[in-house]
Amino acid sequence: MASIWNNGISLSIFGESHSAAIGVVIDNLPPGKKINMDRVISFMKRRQAKSDGTTTSRIEPDIPEIQSGLVNGVTTGTPLAFLIHNTNVRSQDYQNVQTTVRPGHADYTGNVRYQGANDIRGGGHFSGRLTACMAAAGAVCGQILEEYGVYVAAHLLSVYDIHCNSLDTMSLTKEKLAEIRALPFPVINEVKRLQIIDRINQARLAQNSVGGVVECAAIGMPAGIGSPIFDNLESIISSIIFSIPGVKGIEFGEGFHAAELMGSENNDSFYYDKNTVKTKTNRHGGILGGISSGMPINFRVAMKPTPSISLEQDTIDLAQKKEVRLGIVGRHDPCIAARAVPVVEACCNIALLSAIIKQKGI
């Protein structure tokens, strides 16, 4: 088994939900880049659990400790390694699921894949806890991207049956993206924000959970980055987005709605803005033929409902080889989509910087 993503930049993630620590090693970052660690920590705080009932009650400080690759706040060009300690674990909550597989989890598939040796405490290496590593890496990549004039932000587009406003990519500015990143809860419409928070709390009180959709946009990506077929920009982004636990789908630009349009409706007309080629609309989401067009990149990510719910469900006991009923105990997010917002943004940062480095070098 190897938890390595290698696509220009290389990430290696280690640890489990209840191990002493988790961490990430980032290879192939350009040397001489200033990294503000206060901004990295601020980015990671966006992913942290909150005390408003919308998240798990497991709150970790998530202060990344630099092990290598950064001296006096400047990248050295050697592997940048972060260590993040786990300080708030309750492994006893998982004693009743040592052999009882939890519906919607990787307990069964992990048991088969790793011959029963997988760590089930908090989901082990399958846990969303590991997304703290992605957030740390993405926070670093985001700062370097800004030197290229590329800015990224994500928000919570919908939760269950409540839908917020989609981003108008044609009018986005780096200031607007900064406002979105600064939101205390990642919904851009105040009325919808309150409704979504209420819906998440309703699910929690009903011992259940809800899913959601995260929308992400990037401006400033230069035209011509990417390739057709296997190394296309959509594939690079998708490959790391699907590393986020709970992701079940991704669509770019008009996405699945494009299948309901005529070609004349879906095509974006080109024009010249002085000497710059642009399109009048952005249904293609900033990518054509797997290559960036220079228009804002835009995609949406579907997150499933948290599988850890305390409502009793039918399942099986692998040791006793019989069907049983299971109510999951422990501390879990009633909606993982909310905390996934900065993680999606982080993964987009990693993917875009990787694509630039892969093509233009460092």
Q: Per-residue DSSP letters for 150-189?
A: -EEEEEEEEETTEE-PPP-GGG--HHHHHHHHT-SSS-SS
Q: Is 193 annotated as a binding residue?
A: no
Report which of 38, 60, 63, 69 is spatially closest to residue 128, judged by C-alpha positions. Answer: 60
| CATH number belonging to the domain at 4-360, selected among 3.60.150.10, 3.40.50.300, 3.40.190.120, 3.40.50.2300 | 3.60.150.10
pLDDT, mean of residues 318-325: 90
**Rg (Cα) of the chain, in Å, rounded?**
21
Q: Which residue has the higher pLDDT, 235 or 60?
A: 235
Q: Is position 339 annotated in a ligand binding site?
A: no
From CA 163, how far away is CA 157, in angstroms rounded?
6
| DSSP state, residue 337 | H
pLDDT digits (tens, 9 = 90+) for 185-198: 999 999 999 999 99
Known binder of ligand: residue 43? Answer: no
305 in a known ligand binding site:
yes
Strand, helix or coil at 349? helix
The annotation status of 127 as a binding-site residue, yes or no, is yes
Is 238 annotated to bind ligand?
no
- Say whether pLDDT at 50 is over 80: no
Per DSSP, the three-state class of 242 is: coil
The pTM of this model reads 0.94
Measured distance CA(36)–CA(39) in Å, rounded: 5
Rounded to 10°, the helix 131-147/336-360 angle is: 50
Q: What would the pLDDT profile of 16-29 be if each residue is shown by its tens digit?
A: 878 788 999 999 99
- Is residue 58 predicted with pLDDT exceeding 80? no
Tell which wins on pLDDT, 71 or 308.
71
Residue 17 · residue 129 · CB < 8 Å: yes
Query: How do 80-85 and 21-27 pair as beta strands?
Result: antiparallel
The neighbour count for residue 315, using CB atoms within 10 Å, is 20
Q: Which amino acid appears at position 153 of this protein?
A: A
Q: What percent of the chain has pLDDT over 90?
A: 73
Residues 93-146: pLDDT tens digits?
A: 555 567 888 888 888 888 888 888 887 776 777 788 899 999 999 999 999 999
- 31 labeled part of a ligand binding site: no
307 is in an annotated binding site: yes
- pLDDT above 70 for 89: no
Annotation-wise, does 186 bind a ligand? no
Contact (CB, 8 A) for 297 and 221 = yes
pLDDT of residue 95: 59
Q: How many other CB atoms are there within 10 angstroms of residue 220's CB atom? A: 18
The answer to the question of whether 110 is labelled as a binding residue is no
Could you state, in order of their start, the residue ranges of all structural domains in the chain? Answer: 4-360
Tell me, rounded to whole angstroms, the distance of Cα 351 from its chain centroid: 11
Would you state the structure tokens that stand for residue 127, as one six-digit string?
Answer: 């846990």
95 Cβ contact list (under 8 Å, min separation 6): none
Asked whether residue 126 is marked as a ligand-binding residue, the answer is: yes
Q: Which of 241, 251, 246, 233 shows the shortest CA–CA distance to 345?
A: 241
